[in-house]
Amino acid sequence: MHYKIKITGGFVGFARTYEGETDISLTQLKALQRISKSNLRDKKVFRDGQQYNLTLTDNEQVYTLEFTEQEIPQDLMNLISSLKGG
Amino acid sequence: MCKTKCQIIPPHILEELAKRGNVSCKKTLNDTGRIAERRQTALNHLLLRNPILGDGDRFVYDCENKYEQRVTLVRKENGEVTGDVTADKAYDTSGFVRDYFRETFGLNSIDDNGLDIISNIHYGENYNNAFWDGDEMTYGDGDGKEFTDFASAIDVVAHELAHGVTQFLANLEYQSQSGALNEHFSDVFGTVIKQKYLNQDLSEADWLIGDSVVTDEFPGVAIRSMKAPGTANEFDTQPDHMDNYYNGTADNQGVHINSGIPNKAFYLSCLEIGIDDCALIWFETLKSLWRTANFNDMVETLVSVARDLASDSRISDRAVEAVSKSFSEVGLAPIVV
């Protein structure tokens, strides 16, 4: 599955984009869309938090996930980390 | 007869029924009054009670590369050195920032009530960011390719901690111009404290923000430049004049972008009257601003604060002129000089 992550905002400020292929399964993707959110979600005053825009393309099907720093599920952060590091 | 149902009846109806001789309604009315009085007394006591003052103690937590805060406490106030460079740097730099605000402005920690200073380090994996979440600071290690160790950078730590100070003083709304001012104040105290930490004078200072968190592979020298906004790296789009003001919706309507405009004015003001006078003017201005203040509000307040401080001989008598001139150069001329 093709992925494209766009991370905007944060202390760094400018947008960063990561693109490539991942072996995430459709089941895993669906699970990511459902799983619980970050432990930061109750924080109301947030400064330098990032915005995450993740696009996954599987043949013709496009899945888009958008999160703020407070909302993003930890499992999805782990996925993004592995994609950035890979 | 009213009985307990009287409690949901509006007071003016209860009053009228009581006047007509309804004892139950009169009793309910009296009870309601006593409860309201007790509530008010309790509230008054709460407001009059002195808040418990803390000492601004430092706590450093290792997130162990998880996306969770406060995983393991590795160092607290007066605790032993850990041997983890990032933990010890975060401890030292957050202490330096706390002491700067205390010794320079008499501020007792972030909230002026001695709030504990909590730093979370090693947050996540390859995490290229640092943030203030309303209570504490959190730092990533960077991906090692373009960014590295956010917690070890004095200007980053001062920037994040200053977000806390701003929250408790002006609480500037984090969008559009008030948000850009929020970012601006963090960069101001980030660069001032960095210069103090490095014992630099104006001629030695680089006015860069985040220069030590970018690697050699990063296409630029820092995240931002207060001296020359828009030149710190290939992606730096910060304007240095209102003519190039960013009107888009990204980044909470450009909070990290349009902060370049007041940042440049701060740099120019420092060249005129020095960093210490400017730091005092900006700090006192932050105390006077409000949640929705915009760039023009900021300039007017700065000029007014500078005038008061100069008349008390606490800063240079050229301050009003210097601040006005600096902001005029970035397209923000004060209405009254």
Looking up residue B92, the CATH number of its domain turns out to be 3.10.170.10
Same domain, B122 and B32: no
For chain A, percent of residues with pLDDT exceeding 90:
10
The β-bridge relationship of strands A13-21 and A2-9 is antiparallel
CB neighbourhood size of B42 (10 A): 10
Same domain, B211 and B318: yes
Distance from CA of B6 to the nearest CA of A (A): 39
Backbone angles phi, psi at B78, to 5 degrees: 65, 15
Residue B162: closest C-alpha in chain A:
A47
For residue B25, what are its two tokens?
């309604």
What does the pLDDT profile of chain B (337 residues) look like in tens digits?
A: 444 344 566 666 666 676 666 767 656 656 666 666 666 666 666 666 666 789 999 999 999 999 999 999 999 999 999 999 999 999 999 999 999 999 999 999 999 999 999 999 999 999 999 999 999 999 999 999 999 999 999 999 999 999 999 999 999 999 999 999 999 999 999 999 999 999 999 999 999 999 999 999 999 999 999 999 999 999 999 999 999 999 999 899 999 999 999 999 999 999 999 999 999 999 999 999 999 999 999 999 999 999 999 999 999 999 999 999 999 999 998 875 4
Which pLDDT belongs to residue B272? 98
Give the per-residue pLDDT at A66.
87
Q: Report the alpha-carbon distance of residue B323 to residue B311 in Å, rounded.
A: 15
The answer on B217 and B321 residing in a single domain is yes
Taking only residues 265 to 324 of chain B, the set having a beta carbon closer than 8 angstroms to any beta carbon of chain A reads none
Which whole number is the average pLDDT over A55-79? 86
Residue B234 appears among annotated catalytic residues: no
One domain for residues B42 and B123: no
Q: b/e map of B74-94 (b: 16 or more CB within 10 Å)?
A: bbeeeeeeeebebbbbbbbbb
User: Per the domain annotation, does B140 fall within a domain?
Assistant: yes
Nearest to B309 by CA among B278, B271, B266: B278
Q: In the predicted model, is pLDDT for residue A86 greater than 50? A: no
Beta carbons of B303 and B326 less than 8 angstroms apart: no
Question: Range of B41's domain?
Answer: 3-48
**Helix H or strand E segment including B75:** strand B72-76
Please check whether residue B143 lies inside any domain of the structure: yes
Note the ipTM here: 0.85
- Helices of type H across chain B: 11-19, 23-48, 85-105, 154-169, 176-197, 250-254, 260-273, 275-288, 295-311, 319-329
Residue B120 maps to a domain: yes
Paired tokens of B39:
């509530």
Please report the pLDDT score of residue B46 as a whole number: 63
* Nearest residue, CB atoms, B129 vs list A12, A81, A82: A12
B162 domain residue, yes or no? no
Residue A58 has a pLDDT of: 84
In this complex, do B133 and A43 lie within 8 Å of one another by their Cβ atoms? yes
Neighbour count for residue A50 (Cβ, 10 Å): 20
Residues B189, B121, single domain; the answer is no
Which residue, chain included where needed, has tokens 């933990």?
Answer: B87
Q: Read off the pLDDT of each residue in A2-28 and give the average, rounded to a whole number.
A: 87
**Do B63 and B27 reside in the same domain of the chain?**
no
Same domain, B187 and B283: yes
**Which chain B residues contact residue A49 at CB under 8 A?**
131, 133
The domain ranges of chain A are 2-9+17-35+49-85
B160 given a catalytic annotation: yes
Where a domain ends, among B118, B152, B186?
A: B152
**A85/B125 touch (CB, cutoff 8 Å), yes or no:** yes
Beta bridge partners of A57: A2, A62
**A55: helix, strand or coil:** strand
Chain B residues with beta carbon closer than 8 angstroms to that of A13? 223-224, 251, 256-257
B140, B129 Cβ separation under 8 angstroms: yes
Taking residue B221's Cβ as centre, other Cβ atoms within 10 Å add up to 15
Catalytic residue among B122, B159, B160, B163: B160
Residue B199 located in a structural domain: yes
